Structure 1
Amino acid sequence: MNDNHSWFFTEALMNEEVSQPVVAAEASAPLGLREQSKREVTRRIRAAAVDLLARKPFSEITTREVAQHAGIGEATLFRYVGSKDELLTLAYGDRMDALLDELQSADDLATEAVGAEGAGEWYCARVRSFYEGRAAFYLQDPANAALYLRQGFDMTSAGRARTIAQGDRLIERVRSILAEGQAAGALLSRVDALSVAQNCHGIFIHEVDRTPTRGFEPSTIWQRVHARLNAQLDPLVIEPPL
């Protein structure tokens, strides 16, 4: 346990009376009620982290602040999350899952409206819509979005697996869209759909990463991603015969 973490526990124990009702309730309750209590505390922690992340950068949020916002003691907080980074995974990860659900539902509806097959550009437009949605979501909270994505590259991060799984989910969806276009004869079949999907995802992550390092305005994220996606996708389109 690092010094900061030890300090969190020391401070939390001084204020533990805040959380004692929750702990006592868990200790004396039947298994079913105890599980309900744990879920309720987890829900409160998640809600507190989401609310605070909407107000300020993750670096400015303290674990004590999250605990107070959730109505528990700080020691109780650390019984549910192992580190401050896990709060980011809880809060931002849930929002990311909801976004991916929304984008996939929108794509499903678009597919139903057009039918099983479309022109090559239509398949490319479907891919771009996913990353346009990701870019709009990024703009809601650029600093925390970048921090969350970086968890996927941190071997010590508790949120790494979830971040990678969400990326893989989007990559697989893009791969399937491109494969559909290839099967329909609308996109070049000699190009590996998975490789293109991975490149598209890499483009988005790279542009998020280099926004602060290059001093780019976050508002230009989609303009930059869009141009690079076009370079990947446009050459795949097979123009219909005249």
Structure 2
Amino acid sequence: MPSQHSDELGMRERKKKESMARLRTAAKELMWAQGYETVTTKAIAARADMGEATLFRYVPSKLDLFLSVYGDEFEQVVDQRIQAHADLPDDQLRGAAAHLDQVLESYDLLASLYTRYPELAFTFVKESFGTSTGIGRSGLEYADRWFELLESILEHGRATGALDVDDVPLVVQNCHAIYVHEVLRSHARDLPAAELPTRLRQRLTLSLSHLAR
């Protein structure tokens, strides 16, 4: 029979989860509507029906809250590509072009996320490497899964003789560096967000073309 102490612990844990869920929902609603820079933690707390001091008991900063919430968007892209790759018939992953197309299509999807939320995507790319908290670093965990997916595609191409690649992780890192640079460059140069997917694919195609046997 559960003790009163365990019941109280369970209730506190449920309350904590419910409060965190309200906080994340409020942050997404406000940041997606107004932008990261404009929204204050006071406004987020009010939308979540809690005090600002209570907000900071759940998250270290507004940035950590943003990285966590926007990370969900990134995670959905990762999950979608992992599932699409898992569902791909073996006979459709033959030859250099098929392998490289898988990488390009993965970045097409990531680029489409940027075109939907240019300012938020820019903030996520710019800030996700600068936090050391567990919440903030969750975005790096999604990136690790992303890298693992792309590495598995290129490793398969190398194993089947379709691709000539010596250092698969380095190739993947370079691909992502191109994506990050395009996001940062687009913001700095005020380039049209809608054109980023085209620019990105052109650069990635050029970077990967030498891998084809």
Per the TM superposition, whether the score is higher than 0.5 is yes
Aligned counterparts, 1:194-205, within 5 A:
194-205=169-180
Answer 1 or 2: higher relative contact order, Cα 8 Å, separation at least 6. Answer: 2
CA distance in 1, matches of 2:131, 2:146: 21
Matched, 1:123 2:99: yes
Please give the per-residue CA displacement for 1:93-139, whole angstroms capped at 9, x wherever unaligned.
12211221112112222x2x243841210000100111100000111
Please report how far the alpha carbon of residue 45 of structure 1 lies from its aligned counterpart in structure 2 after TM superposition: 0.4
- In structure 1, the partner of 2:81 is 103
Deviates more, 1:172-181 or 1:161-170: 161-170
Match of 1:162 among 124, 134, 138: 138
Please state whether the residue corresponding to 2:37 is helix, strand or coil.
Answer: helix
Partner amino acid, structure 1, of 2:192: E
Equivalent pairs counted in the alignment come to 208
Amino acid at match of 2:142: Q
Alignment deviations for residues 149-181 of structure 1 (CA, whole Å, 9 cap, x no partner)? 112332567655223222222122111100100
List runs of 5+ in structure 1 lacking aligned partners: 1-28
| Aligned mates of 2:138, 2:80 — CA distance in 1 | 18
Q: What is the letter of the counterpart of residue 205 of structure 1?
A: V
Q: Relative to structure 2, which stretch is displaced further, 30-39 or 150-159? A: 150-159
Structure 2 residue 53 is matched with structure 1 residue 78: no
TM-score (norm 1): 0.80
Alignment RMSD (CA, Å) = 1.9
* TM-score of the aligned structures, taking structure 2 as reference length: 0.90
8 Å Cα contact 2:99/2:153 also seen in 1: yes
Q: In 2, are the aligned partners of 1:149 and 1:163 still within 8 Å (CA)?
A: no
1:58 counterpart SS class: coil
> 2: distance between equivalents of 1:36 and 1:155?
28
Alpha-carbon spacing, 1:49–1:160, altered in 2? closer, same or farther (3 Å): closer
Establish whether residue 226 from structure 1 lines up as the match of residue 204 from structure 2: no
Checking the alignment, whether the CA contact within 8 Å between 2:157 and 2:163 is kept in structure 1 is yes
Judging changes above 3 Å, is the alpha-carbon distance between structure 1 residues 141 and 116 closer, same or farther for their aligned structure 2 residues? closer
